[in-house]
């Protein structure tokens, strides 16, 4: 595998700004990469970027990865130019204080801030004890009035993310703010590349859906599935690696360094047994490590896809990432490579159950 190619692409994807409904920058990066490999490419009215590689047996395969990440949205600007925000997607309120923030103005340029935090000297005992709710945090963008904030371009409705650039933590381990689900996007890009290179063959029409708005309730993939009307679908994810202190073994949805994660059941879908069996079979014949995601944690776009139309056969393969929905997700590189290897074989054989 062309490792430097994939690592630098993951860096670009993870650094890109893309809270739900504001994924333009992510779509732009992906479009530029995959355009030469696909026959059709368009963005639908919700913001799903949909690519097609036609096959010849008249059956449709939908591959999905979501482009959005969790973020924030400015909901109020006070007279001194402090911003209050609403959350986009599933946050833990303890995540916010002290972090740097990137915001995007309505005119499309970036401005920067920090989530202000009172030092312990001025916190009341109750605040120290209970913590602070997200709605009580504020963003300081360095101004001293509402007018100055407006001059910077700040306005109600501006989206924001926590500002953490990609880096290598040590050899084989990377950290970035949005591996959920840019690592899924990378998997999907890798599949299209393998098809283009002739390394992966299928007779099915392959629709790649880079889905919008997964983090706010799987909103993009369902309508995309309605339009594509697939015979079978697979969602690719970066999921809840929890093999670290404080989480007992029987409560770890999956673990890093143990290979791709096959979903049996999560909160959004119960995957039909023939899909789980096919994925398991592929991993076994390849000899790649694999694991099942412990039921029933999290939810994925397989959840909204399988309920589209009259019901669609759908499953999910994910790369284990630690610390998702925090400013720093980590990835063990061989987990990604093994996920892509497994995904290729599954795509090759999926016609057996479609």
Classify residue 260 as exposed, middle or buried by CB count within 10 Å of its CB (0-12, 13-18, 19+).
Answer: buried
Of the pair 12, 325, the CB lying nearest Zn ion is at 325
- Quick one: 58 or 295, whose CB is closer to Zn ion? 295
Burial class (CB in 10 A: 0-12, 13-18, 19+), 323: middle
Residue 268: CB minimum distance to Zn ion, A: 11
Active site residue 214: yes
Sole binder of Zn ion in the list 181, 205, 335, 337 (CB under 5 A): 181
Residue with smaller CB distance to Zn ion, 87 or 202: 87
The distance of closest approach from Cβ of residue 66 to Zn ion in the complex, given in angstroms and rounded to an integer, is: 6
Name the one range near Zn ion by CB under 5 A: 32-40, 98-106, 155-163, 176-184.
Answer: 176-184
User: Residue 343: CA atoms inside 13 Å, Cβ hemisphere, count?
Assistant: 37
We find the least distance from the C-beta atom of residue 259 to Zn ion, in angstroms, to be 18
For tokens 């061989």, name the residue.
Answer: 334
Using CB under 5 A, count the residues that bind Zn ion.
2
Give 329 or 341: the residue with its C-beta nearer to Zn ion: 329
Stretch binding Zn ion (CB under 5 A), from 22-30, 49-57, 174-182, 345-353: 174-182
Q: How far is the CB of 16 from Zn ion (least distance, A)?
A: 15
Rounded to a whole number of angstroms, the minimum distance from the CB of residue 48 to Zn ion is: 15
Interface stretch with Zn ion, choices 32-40, 118-126, 179-187, 307-315 (CB under 5 A) = 179-187
Catalytic hit among 69, 214, 215, 237: 214
Interface stretch with Zn ion, choices 177-185, 224-232, 304-312, 337-345 (CB under 5 A)? 177-185
Residue 64 binds to Zn ion (criterion: CB under 5 A): no
Residue 160 contacts residue 104 (beta carbons within 8 Å): yes
For 277, other C-beta atoms within 10 Å of its C-beta total 13
Under the binding rule (CB under 5 A), the answer on residue 180 touching Zn ion is yes
Closer residue to Zn ion, CB minimum distance, 23 or 180: 180
Stretch that binds Zn ion, among 118-126, 153-161, 181-189, 191-199 (CB under 5 A): 181-189
Nearer to Zn ion by Cβ, of 139 and 302: the residue is 302
Q: Which of residues 295-354 bind Zn ion (CB under 5 A)?
A: none
Residues 15-54 that bind Zn ion (CB under 5 A): none
Least separation in angstroms between CB 49 and Zn ion? 16
Residues that bind Zn ion (CB under 5 A): 180-181
Q: Cite the active site residues.
A: 214
């Amino acid at each position: 595998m062309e490792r430097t190619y994939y690592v630098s692409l993951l860096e670009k994807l993870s650094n890109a700004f893309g809270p739900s409904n504001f994924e333009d920058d992510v779509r732009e990066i992906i479009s530029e990469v995959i355009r030469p490999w696909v026959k059709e490419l368009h963005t639908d009215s919700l913001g799903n970027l949909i690519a097609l590689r036609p096959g010849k047996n008249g059956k449709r395969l939908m591959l999905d990865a979501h482009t959005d990440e969790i973020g924030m949205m400015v909901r109020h600007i006070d007279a001194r130019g402090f911003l209050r925000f609403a959350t986009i997607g599933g946050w833990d309120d303890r995540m916010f204080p002290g972090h740097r923030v990137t915001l995007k103005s309505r005119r499309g340029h970036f401005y920067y801030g920090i989530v202000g935090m009172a030092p312990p000297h001025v916190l009341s005992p109750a605040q120290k004890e209970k913590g602070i709710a997200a709605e009580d945090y504020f963003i300081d963008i360095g101004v001293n009035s509402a007018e100055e904030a407006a001059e910077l371009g700040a306005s109600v409705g501006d989206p924001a993310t926590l500002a953490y650039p990609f880096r290598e933590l040590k050899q084989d381990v990377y950290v970035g703010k949005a591996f959920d689900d840019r690592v899924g996007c990378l998997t999907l890009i890798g599949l299209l590349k393998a098809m283009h290179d002739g390394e992966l063959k299928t007779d099915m029409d392959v629709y790649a859906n880079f889905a919008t708005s997964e983090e706010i309730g799987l909103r993009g993939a369902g309508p995309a599935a309605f339009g594509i009307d697939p015979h079978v679908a697979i969602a690719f994810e970066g999921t809840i690696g929890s093999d670290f202190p404080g989480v007992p073994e029987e409560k770890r949805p999956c673990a890093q360094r143990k290979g791709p994660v096959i979903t049996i059941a999560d909160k959004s879908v119960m995957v039909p047994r023939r899909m789980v069996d096919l994925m398991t079979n592929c991993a076994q014949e390849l000899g790649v490590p694999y694991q099942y995601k412990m039921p029933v944690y999290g939810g994925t776009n397989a959840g909204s896809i399988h309920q589209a139309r009259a019901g669609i056969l759908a499953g999910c393969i994910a790369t284990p990432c630690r610390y998702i929905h925090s400013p720093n997700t980590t990835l063990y590189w061989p987990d990604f490579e093994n996920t892509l290897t497994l995904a290729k074989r599954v795509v090759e054989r999926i016609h057996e159950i479609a």
